[in-house]
Amino acid sequence: MSNLRRSTLLFLTACLLLPAAAADRLTVVSWGGAYVKSQMLGFILPFEEATGIQVDVLEYSGGIDEVRSQVRSWNVRWDVVDMELFDARRACREDLLVPFDHETLPPAPDGTPAREDFLEGSLLRCGVGNVIAATVVAYDHERIEQAPTRIEDFFDLQRFPGRRGLRRSPKVNLEWALIADGVPREDVYRVLDTEEGVDRAFRVLSRIKPLVDWWRSGEEAIELLEAGQVSMTSVFNGRVFDAVQRGETFSILWDHQVWFMDVWVMPRNGRRQEQAAEFIRFATATDSLARQMQFIPYGPVRRSALAQIEPDMRRQLPTAEENMATAIEGDAEWWAANVDRLTERFERWLERPVMVPRALPN
Amino acid sequence: MTASVVRGAIAVSLLAFALAAAPARADTDEVARLQQQLAALEQRMAELERRLARAEARSDRPEPASVPRRSFEDVLVDTAVLGVAVTGAERIEEARIQEAPEPEPIRFGGALRFNHFFREDVKDSRTRRGDSGFNLFRLNVDGEIRDIILSAEYRYTPDMDVLRHGWIGYRFDDDSMFKLGIHRVPFGLLPFASHNFWDGVPFYAGFADNHDIGVAYERRDGPWDFNLAFYKNEELGSAGTLARYAPDVVREGEQQNEEINRFNARVAYTLGRETGCEHEFGISGQRADLFNATTSSRGSHWAAAGHLDSRCGRWNVQLQGVRYVYDPDNPEGVSNDMVRLGAFGTSFDLAARGKLAVANVAYNFDLTGRWLDQLVCYNNYSRLFKDVGGGRDSELNTVGCGVGAGPLFAYVDLIFARNMLFFGDGSMVDSDDDRWRGRFNINLGYYW
């Protein structure tokens, strides 16, 4: 066969195969680190195996700007996106997402319908919840003189002296401040909805502010604790799990943990919506979620998945019954509406010392 | 090596499954094939997990923060770094946060200040409704390179241009520090014994915010704070120079003394440390020789202080007592009841023996508005009890506020003094004026 004929044959073969290959690919947008590892091993590889659809996973940094841009230009390259709950709500309100038919979700292995198997609030008009993560207080039980038992202890410097670590964000901090000031958890966002409520939360935070080390990433929070620089810190529960696996003697105070959820969504105007929906159904099946939880201490949104997890791991999940006793559901809707305003105020507040400075300008 | 093996295994497996998947769907015995593939997949996952465990055992620490973010593909194939659980709520923040830049090893700063004052006891000042003028231009250099620290401050004012401080330090592993050069004398309340622009009597007597040349060792050990220092002499190496930042004993006129070979020690203990309501109790002492250039002999000087610096929430209360003695060896005919101090391009006298008292209170207001960043209001009172010289006590009381907005900071002070330097004919030795004299002062500065 001459070179020309061979090349022509290869070209024609490629032309025939390419459209088929494109139809069997799916672009899933998610996050990095151990999280994507858990997704890969939990359900992405099995999905590819079961369906023959190749999944290209892209990493993104959150927000809805890119989705909005793709949807409005009708050039949608992202088929499925793993969104923060408040982003999903915003995007749905802006009509950027395809409504999801929850009746098509697979039931639990015992036949319980999906609607009953999913936790309340995890089935959205435009998406399906997948995992739940929490912000908790952590401490080193080998170092601390007296272990905290409730979130008020975090704000009590007299009974629990020592520096504190907090995330450089108003989220969670304001909620906890109000709880420590006596606001019932069910009223937290109602109180925060008023200027007086926000002032009240900042006043409580001001009480401990001189002794707070602010962190930006979960790794920094763990480092503060490892170095003994703080006696307690807020931190994401997965980080504590990871540190304990490395041999750290950290414990979690689950009291008033604040949990948030991730949601699978499909941008509108996509070309592979059937496959995308199939992927979401597969990813949120009981077995998929349970398999994912072997690799990361997140709470699955399906009760049947939780039941399949090893008891040791289950106790470390935000959704474990005992851990949920006083939990606060981070109000994604409320934060979506207020995060910009409060972050601005929070940053201003951060720059302003509480105590009289040791040295004024001289 | 591990990454390559894992990468290869994934690639081969994906290819095998991709090839196998298409015909499988067309096959009538699809269920059996899928079961076979699922078993193979589980086997492969088990193998990958074993490799991952081995890789993680070799790298038990999480990815260091300095490693730049990598593409998903890199992360996926190099499973050795997939060790950190990045939880839901944090992922969005981490992805949006740029790594904080490393601080510059050498940093520059400074200030430009203007002053407006109104002296109620001076007729011309009253008639002119006060006076305004340039107050200060300041340049600062601070830095740290490999535990060796540098700090220097140059000041230009209408009365002088002077190096306020300039020292080189070394930071030990336990965070203690050794300093060499011109630095603040560790005595009494630190860093300042007042909150206001005009300062208090201890400053004018040379017992606060004073800088000399020598060596010092600082160490903080839990609630304890230790300072030891030795100063060869005043900071400029010339006791006849009056243009200096803070008062020192100077050789001027018939008074030819200078302070040499001074030892300082200061110990402070903080009660309620890390509770948001801290009370620092401290004692300080210093002992020096007074060299007299006329008699070529040495007199002596000592001083001791006790202080309380209490910071509780937004309140700050400072109390201090100082006892000091200058025992100069003057020639016949020169008074031993006073020593001559110099600063700001001028000289003035201080009773050779006396006691100082300080009582300060300040409150830092909680500001929620957009424009003002800081509002600290205070009342600072200080007094000199003269044991010799025959004059009435010198007193200084300043009530005012410090207001900050961005780089701007203003002191608005109402100062009242009796028998005090720069107020009428007041002096810190023998004036006998019973009248309180006032001065309204606004100092506005841009600090960078």
Q: How far is A236 from chain B (nearest CA, A)?
A: 6
- A106-144, pLDDT tens digit by residue? 999 999 999 999 988 899 999 999 999 899 999 999 999
- Domain residues of chain B, as ranges? 2-96, 106-447
Residue among A34, A60, A351 whose CB faces B84 most closely: A34
| Structural domain harbouring A9 | 3-132+261-314
What's the confidence (pLDDT) of residue A10?
A: 46
Task: Give the CATH number of the domain where residue A332 resides.
Answer: 3.40.190.10
User: Does residue A320 lie within any of the structural domains?
Assistant: no
- Any idea which of A66-75, B14-23, B98-107 has the lowest mean pLDDT? B14-23
Q: Residue A79 and residue A265: Cα distance in Å, rounded?
A: 9
* Cα A89–Cα A94–Cα A96 angle in degrees, nearest 5: 90
Q: Say whether both A168 and A120 belong to one domain.
A: no
Mean pLDDT of B338-348: 94
User: Does residue A322 lie within any of the structural domains?
Assistant: no
User: Does residue A357 lie within any of the structural domains?
Assistant: no
Does the beta-carbon distance from A355 to B409 stay under 8 Å?
A: no
pLDDT for A22 beyond 60: no
Q: Say whether both A137 and A126 belong to one domain.
A: no
Count of domains in chain A?
Answer: 2
What's the confidence (pLDDT) of residue B49?
A: 61
Q: Residue A139 and residue A144: Cα distance in Å, rounded?
A: 7
Q: Say whether both A247 and A266 belong to one domain.
A: no
User: Does residue A87 lie within any of the structural domains?
Assistant: yes
Q: How far is A47 from chain B (nearest CA, A)?
A: 10
- A187-237, pLDDT tens digit by residue? 999 999 999 999 999 999 999 999 999 998 778 899 999 999 999 999 988
Share of chain B above pLDDT 70, in %: 77
Q: Are strands B346-351 and B394-405 parallel, antiparallel or unpaired?
A: unpaired
User: Does residue A292 lie within any of the structural domains?
Assistant: yes
Q: Residue A154 and residue A164: Cα distance in Å, rounded?
A: 8
Q: Is residue B390 helix, strand or coil?
A: coil
Q: Say whether both A152 and A166 belong to one domain.
A: yes
Q: Say whether both A50 and A188 belong to one domain.
A: no
- B237-278, pLDDT tens digit by residue? 889 999 999 999 999 999 999 999 999 999 999 999 888 899
- A237-295, pLDDT tens digit by residue? 888 887 888 899 999 999 999 998 899 999 999 999 999 999 999 999 999 999 998 88
What's the confidence (pLDDT) of residue A273?
A: 94
User: Does residue A228 lie within any of the structural domains?
Assistant: yes
Q: Say whether both A203 and A341 belong to one domain.
A: yes
Residue B323: band (very low, low, confident or very high) from pLDDT cuts 50, 70, 90? very high
What's the confidence (pLDDT) of residue A333?
A: 81
Pair A175, A234: CB distance under 8 Å: no
Class of domain B106-447: mainly beta
In chain A, residues with a C-beta closer than 8 Å to the C-beta of B92 are: 61-63, 84
Q: What is the pTM of this model?
A: 0.73
pLDDT for A308 beyond 50: yes
- Any idea which of A12-21, A29-38, A256-265 has the lowest mean pLDDT? A12-21
pLDDT for B71 beyond 60: no
Residue B431: band (very low, low, confident or very high) from pLDDT cuts 50, 70, 90? confident
What's the confidence (pLDDT) of residue A17?
A: 42
What's the confidence (pLDDT) of residue A296?
A: 81
pLDDT for B78 beyond 80: no
Q: Alpha-carbon Rg of chain B, whole angstroms?
A: 33
Mean pLDDT of B61-71: 30
What's the confidence (pLDDT) of residue B434?
A: 80
- Give bridge partners of residue B385 from the DSSP assignment: B355
What's the confidence (pLDDT) of residue A287?
A: 94
Q: Say whether both A126 and A272 belong to one domain.
A: yes
**Which of the residue ranges A139-143, A304-308, B19-23 has the most confident prediction, judged by mean pLDDT?**
A139-143
φ, ψ for residue A35, nearest 5 deg: -65, -45
User: Does residue A248 lie within any of the structural domains?
Assistant: yes
Does the beta-carbon distance from A358 to B370 stay under 8 Å?
A: no
- B86-145, pLDDT tens digit by residue? 444 444 444 444 445 567 889 999 999 999 999 988 888 888 888 999 999 999 999 999
Q: Say whether both A342 and A249 belong to one domain.
A: yes
Residue in B closest to A358 by C-alpha? B191
Does the beta-carbon distance from B374 to A203 stay under 8 Å?
A: no
Residue in A closest to B98 by C-alpha? A216
**Which of the residue ranges A174-183, A299-308, A329-338, B72-81 has the most confident prediction, judged by mean pLDDT?**
A174-183
Q: Say whether both A138 and A252 belong to one domain.
A: yes
Residue in B closest to A318 by C-alpha? B87
What's the confidence (pLDDT) of residue A218?
A: 77
- B281-299, pLDDT tens digit by residue? 999 999 999 999 999 999 9
pLDDT for B372 beyond 50: yes
Pair A100, A277: CB distance under 8 Å: yes
Q: Say whether both A236 and A306 belong to one domain.
A: no
Q: Say whether both A223 and A343 belong to one domain.
A: yes
Q: Residue A205 and residue A155: Cα distance in Å, rounded?
A: 8
DSSP assignment of B287-302: EEEEEETTTTEEEEEE
- A321-342, pLDDT tens digit by residue? 889 899 998 888 888 788 889 9
pLDDT, mean over chain B: 83
Q: Say whether both A268 and A252 belong to one domain.
A: no
User: Of B386, B382, B384, B385, which is closest to residue B396 (Cα–Cα)?
Assistant: B382
Q: Residue B177 and residue B218: Cα distance in Å, rounded?
A: 5
Pair B264, B185: CB distance under 8 Å: yes
What's the confidence (pLDDT) of residue B181?
A: 97
The structure tokens listed for B364 are 């830092």
CA distances from A219 to A253, B76, B83 (A): 18, 20, 12
User: Does residue A18 lie within any of the structural domains?
Assistant: yes
- B32-49, pLDDT tens digit by residue? 666 666 666 665 566 556
Q: Is residue A29 helix, strand or coil?
A: strand
Residue in A closest to B377 by C-alpha? A356
